[in-house]
Amino acid sequence: MVDAGVLGARLASSAVAPLVKKLFVRDQPGAGLVSEPVRISGLVSFGREKRNVTPKDAEKVAEELVRRALKAAPPGERPVEHDEAVAVKNALAHSLSALGTITIHDYEAVALGPEEFARRLRSHAAVVAFGLSADGEFLYERLLRTASLHILNFFTQRSTYIARQQTVQSQQLARLVQAVDVLLERLPSQSAEDAGFEARYADHVSGRYGTLTIYGLDAGTREWPLDTAYLSLEATRERNGHTGPGGLHVPAERVLAQQDQVLLRGVAGSGKTTLVQWLAVTTAGRTYEHGLTHLVGRVPFVLPMRRIVRPGREFPIPGDFLKAVGCPVAGEQPTGWVERVLRAQRGVLLVDGIDEIAGDRRAAARRWLRELVRTFPGNLWLVTSRPSAVPEKWLDAEGFAELTLSPMSRDDVATFVRRWHRAAGAEESVGTSLLQSVRTTSELNRLATNPLMCGMLCALHRDRRGFLPQDRKSLYEAALTMLLERRDRERELVHPDGVRIPYATQVQLLQKLAWWLIRNSRAEMDRSDALHIIGQAMPAVGLDGTPEDVSQSLLLRSGLLREPAEGRVDFVHRTFQDYLGARLAVQELDFDLLVNNSANDAWEDVILLALAHARPREAEQMLRRLVAQDTARGKLLAAAGLRYATEVDARVRAVVEHGVESLIPPRGLVEAQELARAGGDLVLALLPGPEGIDDTTAATVTATVAYLGSEAALHFLTRFRKQPGEQVQTILAASWQLFDRELYARDILAHLPRQRRVVVRTADDLRTLRSLGGWEHIMVVGAYRVEDLTDLIVRERLTHLALDAPHPVEGLAWLSAFPNLTSVSVSTLLHPDVVRQIPDRVRLDTSPTGES
Q: What does 774-837 look like in DSSP terms, one character per residue? A: --SEEEEES---HHHHHHHS-TTT--EEEEE-SS-----GGGGG-TT--EEEESS---HHHHTT
- Considering the domain architecture, whether residues 469 and 423 belong to the same structural domain is answered as yes
Other beta carbons within 10 Å of 268? 21
- Considering the domain architecture, whether residues 51 and 141 belong to the same structural domain is answered as yes
- Considering the domain architecture, whether residues 205 and 342 belong to the same structural domain is answered as yes
- Residues in the chain with pLDDT < 50? 1-13, 28-38, 41-42, 45-53, 126-127, 175-176, 215-221, 239-247, 469, 848-852
Q: Which residues of 411-426 are buried (b: 16+ CB within 10 A; e: fewer)?
A: ebbbebbbbbbebbeb
For 510-551, the three-class secondary structure string (H helix, E strand, C coil) is HHHHHHHHHHCCCCCEEHHHHHHHHHHHHHHHCCCCCHHHHH
Residue 345 lies in a domain: yes
- Considering the domain architecture, whether residues 252 and 329 belong to the same structural domain is answered as yes
* Strands 234-237 vs 248-251: parallel, antiparallel or unpaired: antiparallel
Q: What is the pLDDT of residues 604-643, one digit of tens each?
A: 889 999 999 999 999 999 999 999 988 888 988 898 888 8
User: What span, in angstroms and rounded, lies between the C-alpha atoms of 152 and 680?
Assistant: 49
Residue 187 lies in a domain: no
Residue 728 lies in a domain: no
Q: What is the pLDDT of residues 638-674, one digit of tens each?
A: 988 888 888 889 999 999 988 888 888 888 888 888 8
Residue 187: per-residue pLDDT:
56
Q: Are 248 and 543 spatial neighbours (Cβ–Cβ below 8 Å)?
A: no
Nearest to 647 by CA among 621, 628, 685: 621
Task: Kindly tell me the sign of the dihedral angle through the C-alpha atoms of 615, 617, 618, 622.
Answer: positive
Residue 516: per-residue pLDDT:
95
Q: Is 811 left (phi over 0), alpha (psi -120 to 50) or beta?
A: beta
Residue 47: per-residue pLDDT:
42
Q: Which of 661, 685, 707 is the last residue before a domain boundary?
A: 661
Local structure of 101: helix, strand or coil: coil
- Considering the domain architecture, whether residues 390 and 275 belong to the same structural domain is answered as yes
- Considering the domain architecture, whether residues 96 and 142 belong to the same structural domain is answered as yes
SS3 content of the chain, % helix, strand, coil (to 5): 55, 10, 35
**On the CB side of 279, how many CA atoms lie within 13 Å of its CA?**
32
Residue 831: per-residue pLDDT:
76
- Considering the domain architecture, whether residues 351 and 270 belong to the same structural domain is answered as yes
Q: What are phi and psi of 2, to 5 degrees?
A: -70, 145
- Considering the domain architecture, whether residues 60 and 128 belong to the same structural domain is answered as yes
Q: Which of 359, 385, 406 is the last residue before a domain boundary?
A: 406
Residue 615: per-residue pLDDT:
93
100 secondary structure, DSSP code: G
Residue 420 lies in a domain: yes
Residue 362: per-residue pLDDT:
86
Angle in degrees, CA 186, 190, 195, rounded to 5: 95
> For residue 429, what are the CA distances in angstroms to 231, 297, 847?
22, 43, 48
Residue 806 lies in a domain: yes
* Strands 261-265 vs 380-385: parallel, antiparallel or unpaired: parallel
- Considering the domain architecture, whether residues 338 and 213 belong to the same structural domain is answered as yes
Residue 709 lies in a domain: no
Residue 680 lies in a domain: no
Residue 520 lies in a domain: yes
- Report the domain count for the chain: 6
Residue-range definition of the domain harbouring residue 144:
4-166
